[in-house]
Amino acid sequence: MSFCSKILVPMMALIGLGTATAGSPAGRITSVVRTNARTGKLVRAVVVTPPADAGNSNEAESARHDLRSIVQETASRHDVDPLLVDSVIQAESGYNALAVSSKGAEGLMQLIPATARRFGVKNTFDPRENVEGGVRYLKFLKDAFKDERLALAAYNAGERAVVKYGWIPPYRETRDYVRKVGKRYSEARKVSAAAPSVSQPSVAAPEQPQYRPIEQFVDAEGRLHIRTR
Residue 13 phi, psi dihedral angles, 5° rounding: -65, -40
Given a contact cutoff of 8 angstroms between Cβ atoms, the answer to whether 139 and 78 are in contact is: yes
∠ at Cα 147 (140, 190), nearest 5°?
Answer: 105
**CA torsion through residues 45, 172, 118, 75, sign:** negative
State the CB neighbour count (10 A cutoff) for residue 129.
Answer: 20
| Candidates 61, 92, 215, 221; catalytic one | 92
Rg (CA), the chain: 31
Q: Which of 94, 39, 104, 101 is nearest to 64 (CA)?
A: 94
Q: Is 116 exposed, middle or buried (0-12, 13-18, 19+ CB in 10 A)?
A: buried
Specify whether 148 is catalytic. no
104 vs 161: CA distance, rounded Å: 19
Nearest to 149 by CA among 134, 133, 129, 166: 166
How long, in residues, is the chain? 229
Active site residues: 92
